[in-house]
């Protein structure tokens, strides 16, 4: 909760117009009333016929920045460049169902997002068009993902001095094997699954054939999606589109000549033109916060609500949406407000148990956007989710990535929704340690190791695994892999024998996974929620409650004086390395886990 009012910016009716609308005339005679009525009818008809007097309204959506799954739990500290997908989704659905809205104008340019998120936005725009809203995309400078959103509009307008970058898709992997050797570090990694190439980057100086095969298959799917989508929406032959992609870089004039955009124009001029055709423009997204002078009661109410750490019951029949976002780890991070992008087993097991006991929660949708992590934590969460699915409908919705441990927990649901470019699968495990002895030698650090027991030093960082230790680790990890296979076979109702060839740690796109029956349906979170509402027997538009709830402000203040991730996070964010932030956060909370269900790689698209 925030102290202040949540408002949408709009162009209000002028005071004079408002006064005119509210003015009443004295009823002198029935004749004059009839004349007034006829005049009013004539004026309404004239407004409908005269250019520039459009009825209805135009909604404006500013879609620039960094797309996140949901808004920050600390609104006063949130990054203004963040674009919360949950708020965008809610806004576009409301616009779709608002009969007064005649057109929606998207302001685009330099959006950082995942491929599955972009596909969900595309689907939401199609929903606007199916509701007969005119959709206009205004682009300042379009990178590939910006254009893939813009292409769903009825009209694409590019700034006359802008550019269009439509250069296809590339994957670049950085390897640190040689650097590790130079500084005296040695990654001793054990894998189960032919394609389980996680952590290859710290061992090798180049790509393995297994990794090359997996990445190339994903690149093929991404490239085909781009070519097919642009060809269909712009009504241009696919071979011509491929030629344009090979060209890649377009000035505004060349983009218009190639029919990739409809016209050139500046924002103010285009917005004025759309207003004339469809009605007054109102900024509908992003949602802005207007702060007013708080009263004592509003401050106390806000503090009490923010100090509540969640767990309260739903007040009416509802659908719960649970966000499982980030690396998966054992334990709890409920008392660490800065670790909101971790999936900690204790917290999620407790949450699923609470939702199971809440009679007003009629169905649950789990939004999984995770590269995996601890194999143990993944299994604990899977069990809680599977038990929940025995009491009420449970649907899994996959975001950009739901692979390895992320896929593990998703298989506890009754059904799985994924976009065609979601990264999923990666059914395999990896484990190991980093040997520091070489670094110690270079730094002049020495030590001695005393043991009792043959394998007492198995996780020592001073030496590599012995043959016996490696065999023990492989035995443990193979058993974990078989458990993973069993969980998938149970959740997906598949035969183990038919599952094994498509496991082996292989990463699949959503479209591939659907063919292999690893997922059930194509679609985004809104599709999963609509399906859950149907399965629960609720009416469309039933309340949706999001979990986990933000940690309380009092807890945040108590934890804010720690020195763990609070100091690292701003530095890593400033450097643009959110991926390193997640790794640091994961190992600071879950570094004791020795066997990981972790995806080999992720795509970061800019």
In a domain, 182, yes or no: no
Asked whether 581 and 415 are in contact (CB, 8 A), the reply is no
Residues 337 and 280 in one domain: no
Distance CA 171, CA 603 (A): 8
Bigger pLDDT: 604 vs 214? 214
Distance CA 250, CA 276 (A): 30
Torsion-angle region of 590 (φ positive above 0: left; ψ -120 to 50: alpha; else: beta): alpha
pLDDT reported for residue 549: 80
The secondary structure of residue 10, as a DSSP letter, is B
- pLDDT above 70 covers what percent of the chain? 76
Asked whether 222 and 115 are in contact (CB, 8 A), the reply is yes
Question: Cα dihedral sign for 270, 272, 276, 279?
Answer: positive
* Average pLDDT of every residue of the chain: 84
pLDDT reported for residue 595: 81
Given a cut of 50, is residue 108 above it in pLDDT? yes
**Token reading at 282:** 């109102």
In a domain, 62, yes or no: yes
What's the pLDDT tens digit per position in 330-383?
999 877 665 668 999 999 999 999 999 999 999 999 999 999 999 999 999 999
Residues 260 and 330 in one domain: no
Residues 42 and 134 in one domain: yes
Distance CA 427, CA 599 (A): 9
Boundaries of domain holding 501: 315-429+466-598
Distance CA 306, CA 1 (A): 7
Asked whether 217 and 423 are in contact (CB, 8 A), the reply is no
In a domain, 476, yes or no: yes
Q: What is the DSSP string of 262-278?
A: SEE--HHHHHHHHHHHH
Residues 267 and 328 in one domain: no
What's the pLDDT tens digit per position in 511-535?
999 999 999 999 999 999 999 999 9
Residues 148 and 102 in one domain: yes
Q: What is the DSSP string of 306-357?
A: HT--S-PPPSSSEEEEEEEES-EESS--TT-TT-TT-EEHHHHHHHHHHHHH
| Coil vs helix vs strand at 97 | helix
Number of helices and strands (H, E) in the chain?
22, 25
Residues 283 and 321 in one domain: no
Residue with tokens 């999984």: 368
pTM to 2 decimal places: 0.84
What number is the average pLDDT over the span 427-448? 94
Per-residue three-class SS string for 201-246: HHCCCCCCHHHHHHHHHHHHHHHHHHHHHHHHHHCCCHHHHHHHHH
pLDDT reported for residue 601: 61
Winning range, highest mean pLDDT, from 247-251, 289-293, 590-594 = 247-251
Distance CA 104, CA 120 (A): 17
* Phi, psi of 157, rounded to the nearest 5 degrees: -120, 125
In a domain, 534, yes or no: yes
Residues 44 and 136 in one domain: yes
HSE, side-chain direction, 13 A CA sphere, residue 20: 6
**Token reading at 79:** 């990054």
**Token reading at 30:** 């029935």
Where is 139: in which H helix or E strand? strand 134-139
Distance CA 40, CA 59 (A): 28
* Phi, psi of 447, rounded to the nearest 5 degrees: -160, 170
Residues 138 and 10 in one domain: yes
**Token reading at 293:** 């002078």
Instruction: For residue 604, name the pLDDT band (cuts at 50, 70, 90).
Output: low
Residues 320 and 264 in one domain: no
In a domain, 212, yes or no: no
Residue with tokens 């690893």: 518
In a domain, 193, yes or no: no
- Lowest average pLDDT, out of 8-17, 154-163, 317-326, 545-554, goes to 8-17
Distance CA 360, CA 148 (A): 40
Residues 265 and 352 in one domain: no
Residues 362 and 505 in one domain: yes
**Token reading at 108:** 């685009």
Distance CA 166, CA 226 (A): 10
Distance CA 146, CA 139 (A): 8
Q: Tell me, what CATH number does 591's domain have? A: 3.90.226.10
In a domain, 254, yes or no: yes
Per-residue three-class SS string for 149-216: HHCCCCEEEECCCCEEECCCCCCCCCCCHHHHHHHCCEEEEEEECCCCCCCHHHCCCCCCHHHHHHHH
Residues 270 and 402 in one domain: no
Where is 496: in which H helix or E strand? helix 496-499
pLDDT reported for residue 550: 65
In a domain, 205, yes or no: no
pLDDT reported for residue 159: 97
What's the pLDDT tens digit per position in 210-256?
999 999 999 999 999 999 999 999 999 999 999 999 999 999 999 99
What number is the average pLDDT over the span 452-465? 95
Q: Which of 229, 222, 228 is nearest to 509 (CA)?
A: 222
Asked whether 376 and 409 are in contact (CB, 8 A), the reply is no
What's the pLDDT tens digit per position in 44-79?
444 444 444 567 999 999 999 999 999 876 555 556
- Lowest average pLDDT, out of 68-72, 225-229, 477-481, 545-549, goes to 68-72
Q: What is the DSSP string of 503-548?
A: -TT-EEEHHHHHHTTSS-EE--HHHHHHHHHHHTTPPTT--EEEES
Q: What is the number of domains present in the chain?
A: 2
Residues with Cβ within 8 Å of residue 10, at least 6 apart in sequence: 282, 283
Distance CA 204, CA 176 (A): 7
């Amino acid at each position: 909760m925030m102290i202040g009012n949540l408002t949408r910016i709009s162009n209000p009716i002028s005071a004079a117009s408002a006064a005119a609308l509210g003015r009443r005339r004295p009823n002198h005679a029935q004749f004059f009333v009839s004349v007034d009525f006829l005049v009013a009818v004539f004026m309404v008809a004239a407004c409908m016929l005269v250019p520039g007097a459009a009825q209805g309204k135009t909604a404006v959506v500013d879609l620039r920045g960094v797309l996140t799954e949901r808004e920050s739990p600390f609104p006063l500290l949130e990054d203004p460049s963040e674009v919360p997908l949950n708020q965008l989704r809610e806004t576009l659905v409301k616009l779709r169902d608002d009969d007064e809205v005649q057109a929606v104008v998207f302001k685009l340019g330099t959006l950082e997002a995942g491929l599955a998120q972009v596909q969900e936005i595309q689907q939401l725009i199609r929903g606007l068009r199916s509701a007969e809203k005119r959709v206009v995309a205004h682009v300042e400078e379009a990178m590939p993902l910006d254009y893939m959103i813009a292409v769903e509009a009825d009209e694409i307008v590019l700034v006359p001095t802008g550019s269009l970058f439509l250069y296809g898709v590339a994957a670049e992997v950085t390897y640190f094997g040689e650097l590790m050797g130079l500084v005296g570090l040695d990654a001793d990694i054990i894998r189960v699954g032919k394609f389980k190439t996680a952590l290859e980057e710290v061992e090798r100086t180049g790509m393995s054939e297994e990794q090359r095969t997996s990445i190339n298959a994903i690149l093929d799917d991404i490239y085909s999606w781009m070519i097919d989508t642009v060809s269909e929406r712009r009504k241009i032959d696919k071979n011509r589109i491929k030629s344009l992609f090979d060209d890649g870089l377009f000035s505004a004039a060349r983009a218009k000549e190639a029919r990739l955009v409809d016209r050139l124009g500046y924002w103010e001029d285009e917005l004025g033109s759309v207003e004339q055709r469809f009605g007054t423009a109102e900024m509908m997204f992003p949602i802005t916060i207007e702060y007013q002078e708080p009263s004592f009661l509003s401050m106390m109410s806000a503090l009490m609500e923010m100090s509540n750490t969640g767990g309260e019951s739903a007040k009416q029949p509802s659908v719960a949406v649970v966000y499982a976002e980030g690396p998966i780890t054992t334990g709890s991070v409920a008392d660490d407000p800065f670790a909101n992008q971790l999936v900690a087993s204790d917290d999620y097991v407790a949450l699923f148990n609470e939702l199971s006991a809440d009679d007003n929660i009629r169905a649950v949708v789990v939004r999984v956007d995770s590269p995996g992590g601890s194999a143990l934590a993944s299994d604990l969460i899977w069990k809680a989710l599977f038990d929940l699915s025995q009491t009420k409908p449970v649907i899994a919705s996959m975001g950009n990535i739901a692979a390895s441990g992320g896929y593990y927990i998703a298989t506890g649901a009754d059904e799985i929704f994924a976009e065609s470019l979601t990264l999923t699968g990666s059914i395999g495990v990896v484990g190991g340690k980093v040997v520091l002895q070489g670094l110690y030698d270079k730094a002049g650090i020495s030590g001695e190791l005393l043991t009792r027991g043959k394998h007492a030093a198995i996780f020592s960082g001073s030496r590599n695994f012995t043959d016996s230790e490696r065999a023990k680790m492989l035995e443990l990890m193979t058993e974990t892999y078989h458990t993973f296979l069993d969980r998938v076979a149970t959740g997906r109702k598949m035969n183990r024998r038919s599952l094994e060839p498509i496991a082996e740690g292989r990463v699949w796109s959503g479209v591939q996974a659907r063919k292999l029956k690893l997922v059930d349906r194509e679609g985004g979170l809104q599709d999963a929620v609509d399906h859950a509402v149907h399965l629960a027997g609720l009416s469309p538009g039933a309340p949706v409650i999001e979990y986990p709830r933000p940690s309380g402000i009092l807890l945040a203040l108590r934890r804010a004086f720690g020195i763990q991730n609070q100091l690292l996070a701003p530095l890593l964010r400033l450097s643009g390395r959110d991926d390193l932030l997640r790794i640091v956060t994961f190992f600071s909370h879950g570094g004791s886990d020795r066997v990981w269900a972790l995806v080999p790689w992720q795509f970061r698209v800019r």
